[in-house]
Amino acid sequence: MAQRRVGIRARLVVAVAALVSTGSVTACSNGVEAGTLDPPSGTAVHEDVGELAVRNAVIVAGEDGTLTVSLTVVNTGSTEDSLTDVEITADLEPAPAVLSPGTITLPPRTATVIPGEGESTIEVDLDVAPGGYLPVTMQFENAGSVDLSLAVVTEASPYGGGTG
């Protein structure tokens, strides 16, 4: 009977150890520290370049085949900067985006929402289905360039301004 109790205890210890270790080896989580190489789903990109903070960056795919980059750029510095060029790569072909107006001014200590008031937009004519990620390079006058991988979302998403 004592031998039977030892066998039950041994099986119980093994079962508890297996349950405790399951969470640490499955890497089932989401967010910046997730145990995966894929970007977290449903989140926009956040990246810093020089004194600029690029926030909530995504690409909104319009039904007409136009892609619009939606983001906020926070200039934390004391001098003005400008977004001078944006290039989006689809099917290994880089496509320059049209910035309206020609460059987008980023005043010091200010958050600039694009598209937003003042008619600042970043658009490119590429027929890309929502659901993937596209490489994007942004060139700033003073801060330099930054390479991003941005999610392509629909106009009905919160980023597209719809009710999705």
pLDDT in the model for residue 10: 61
- Dihedral sign for Cα 8, 13, 19, 22, please: negative
> What is the amino acid identity at position 11?
R
- Across the range 49-65, mean pLDDT stands at 92
Beta-strand ranges (E) seen in 6-154 are: 45-49, 52-61, 66-75, 81-90, 93-96, 98-100, 104-106, 110-114, 121-125, 133-140, 144-154
Beta carbons within 8 Å of 135's beta carbon, 6+ residues apart: 88, 89, 147, 148, 149
Domains annotated for the chain, with CATH where assigned, are 45-160 (2.60.40.1890)
* Residue 74: Cβ-neighbour burial (10 angstroms; 0-12, 13-18, 19+): middle
Task: Considering only residues 39 and 127, tell me which one the structure prediction assigns the higher pLDDT.
Answer: 127
Mean pLDDT of 117-135: 86
The pTM for the full model equals 0.69
In degrees, rounded to 5, the angle at the alpha carbon of residue 102 between the alpha carbons of residues 96 and 108 is 110
Q: Quote the pLDDT of residue 6.
A: 56
